[in-house]
Structure 1
Amino acid sequence: MAKLTKITTQKKNKGRYNIFLDYGQGEAYGFSVSEDILIQYHLQKNMELDESTIQAMIQTDTIHKSYTLAINYLSYRMRSEKEIRDYLDEKEVDEEHIDEIVSRLYKEKLLDDQEFANSLVRTRVLTSSKGPLLVKKELIEKGVQASQADAALEHYPFDDQYSKAMKFAEKKLKSDKKKSARQQIQNVQQTLMQKGFSGDVVKEVLSDLPEEESEDEQWEAVVYQGEKLLRKFAHKAEGYELKQKIKTGLYRKGFSFDLIERFLDEYVEE
């Protein structure tokens, strides 16, 4: 048995207390506890404490400190269960303590993967450029079940998806003015798929894009791309061979045969 001889408040942490014990050989520091543990065990001077009670207090306090870490981690934003577990694991919390802390957080309604997923989707709709497929991927990576992720994506309605996708498409078209109309559409489609938009949304956006550029705009594009190919191949080929290389290059870039032939007639010598 040990006698509790003194309780002092820690200088740097007023919510924790140092417990001093005497095992019959004089007073010495024993351990520290939080205020909650102090109250829970009714600790006071001259109490007799057996070793099992001391170890129980130390373990309870250890769990409490880890729980406080979790609460602090949650104070910045909602977290998934996986995020909490990973965080506590990084802090070297015992696995059995992690299970106990997670269970307590659920009971106190501080953890809820479905509500976490709902909140994250709503946030991404307002603040990010991600399509729903990328948002779902993010949720899965954070440990949310696929069924919960699908349910949360109900907060990402089709109209919002379409609006974001159309903005991307319009921006992409502006940056691709010097490319063929076919290549512009292909690039828009590829970009939207990479951003995580579904096939239905991509199809809708593509069908609503402006009609093909004017003939003058496409001519400017073929001249721009054709001159690049001309500079590339001029020192490697000439005459018919040069024309064939340029023709093949422009065709692969999606230009029509009429525009290609016009460019070759006007810019490439026999």
Structure 2
Amino acid sequence: MMWIEKIEVDRKNAERFYVHFVKEDGDKHTISVDQDILIEYRMKKGMTVTREQWAEMIKKDDEKQAYKMALRFLAYRMRSKQEVVDYLKKRHIDAQTIERVIGKLQHEQYIDDEQFAHAYVQTQMNTTLKGPYVIYKELMDKGVSEDVITKAMERYTEDMQRDKAIKWMEKINKQSKKRSYQEQKTYIAQLLHMKGFPSHIVEMAKQHVTADDGKEWEALIYYGEKAHRRYETYDRYTYEQKMKQALYRKGFSLSLIEKFLEKKKEE
């Protein structure tokens, strides 16, 4: 048995109290508890407490602190169950307490992976140009089950994926560096795959990459001059063969390459 010698407010947190206990042998112990624990056990000066009650108070207070910690974490945005678990683990909350807190949060609907997944997919669709595979992986990384993700991803229809892919393609086209038409198509396809779009959507988007003769010729001159500086010391035959190989690898047509080589002859 032990008895409460005094109770005082934590000056740094008015919702917490220091409870000073005295054991039968005279040893003293102080614990900090939440005001809800204080009220639940009707603690007051002179009250006797068993060791079991004392241990239970500490256990419940640990749970209360972890619960409030989780609520603060959830206040910023919706979270998956696994995100909350990981957050509490990083704060050194023990596994049993985490399990009880998660159960309570789920019961009170503060955590719901189905709602979270649907909201996450909708937000990514509304605010980003991400493809479905990237969003799917992000949800997997957040610990959401495959069944829940698959259901949530149903709202990201093929038409929407195509529109997103085309918007992304148009954005890249505007920022395009000096590339041949074929090289630009390949480059855009690679980026779309990295963005998480399936192959058939990428192929659809590639059809919207249009050739611009002016840009094509400008790009050819850029790469042609670089190749020319590299091979100009070779004999005429070797020079032309190496020039054709280098520019063809860049995706330029043979007719355009011949035109450039004729231009260099005239200079």
Q: Could you tell me how far 1:256 is from its partner in structure 2? A: 1.2
Structure 2 unpaired stretches of 5+: none
Q: Could you tell me how far 1:193 is from its partner in structure 2? A: 1.1
Q: Secondary structure at the match of 2:76?
A: coil
Name the CA distance, whole Å, in 2 between partners of 1:168 and 1:238. 45
Contact 1:121 1:135 in 2 (8 A): yes
Matches within 5 A, 1:180-219: 180-210=180-210, 212-214=211-213, 216-219=214-217
Matches within 5 A, 1:150-229: 150-176=150-176, 178-210=178-210, 212-214=211-213, 216-229=214-227
For the aligned residues, what is the CA RMSD?
A: 2.1
* Aligned match of 2:63: 63
- Note if 1:254 corresponds to 2:248: no
Give the letter aligned to residue 102 of structure 2.
V
Structure 1 unpaired stretches of 5+: none
- Range with greater deviation from structure 2 (170-179 or 128-137): 170-179
Q: Deviations over 1:63-91 (max 9, x none)?
A: 11111111111111111111111111111
* Aligned match of 1:267: 264
Contact 2:132 2:153 in 1 (8 A): yes
Q: TM-score, normalised by structure 2?
A: 0.92
Matches within 5 A, 1:1-270: 1-24=1-24, 28-176=28-176, 178-210=178-210, 212-214=211-213, 216-235=214-233, 237-268=234-265
% identical equivalent positions: 36
Q: 1:57 to 1:167 in 2, by over 3 A?
A: same
Q: Could you tell me how far 1:23 is from its partner in structure 2? A: 2.6
Q: Secondary structure at the match of 2:30?
A: strand
What number of residue pairs does the alignment pair up?
267
Q: TM-score, normalised by structure 1?
A: 0.91
Q: Deviations over 1:179-202 (max 9, x none)?
A: 221111111111111111122322
Q: Deviations over 1:210-245 (max 9, x none)?
A: 3x323x44333322221121122235x232111111
Q: Secondary structure at the match of 1:14?
A: strand
